[in-house]
């Protein structure tokens, strides 16, 4: 029982020393700093996402065009074959 208490106190002291000796004090961000970080993250991610969506749209559009061209070729070939 006595060893458990000593061990608990030793672990508590170790954690207390490690967290206080890190050297950096916690300073909360100001409203302007928070807004600046959010704006920079939004700008960086929105540009990447926009390019990704444009690429997907272009790929989908090209696939639709190719499918329609093949459909029209098949219709023309069927019409020519029936004459």
- Say what the pTM is: 0.41
More confident residue, 79 or 50: 50
Q: How far is CA 55 from the centre of its chain?
A: 17
Q: So where are the chain's domains?
A: 52-83
Q: Write the pLDDT tens digit of every residue in 6-40.
A: 778 777 777 776 766 566 677 888 999 999 999 99
CA distance 67 to 54: 20
More confident residue, 68 or 14: 68
């Amino acid at each position: 029982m006595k060893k458990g208490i000593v061990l608990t106190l030793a672990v508590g002291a170790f954690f207390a020393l490690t967290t206080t000796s890190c050297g950096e004090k916690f300073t909360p961000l100001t409203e302007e700093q928070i807004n600046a970080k959010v704006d920079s993250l939004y700008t960086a991610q929105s540009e990447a996402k926009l390019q990704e969506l444009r690429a997907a749209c272009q790929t989908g559009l090209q696939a639709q065009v190719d499918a329609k061209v093949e459909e029209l070729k098949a219709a023309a070939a069927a019409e020519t074959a029936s004459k």
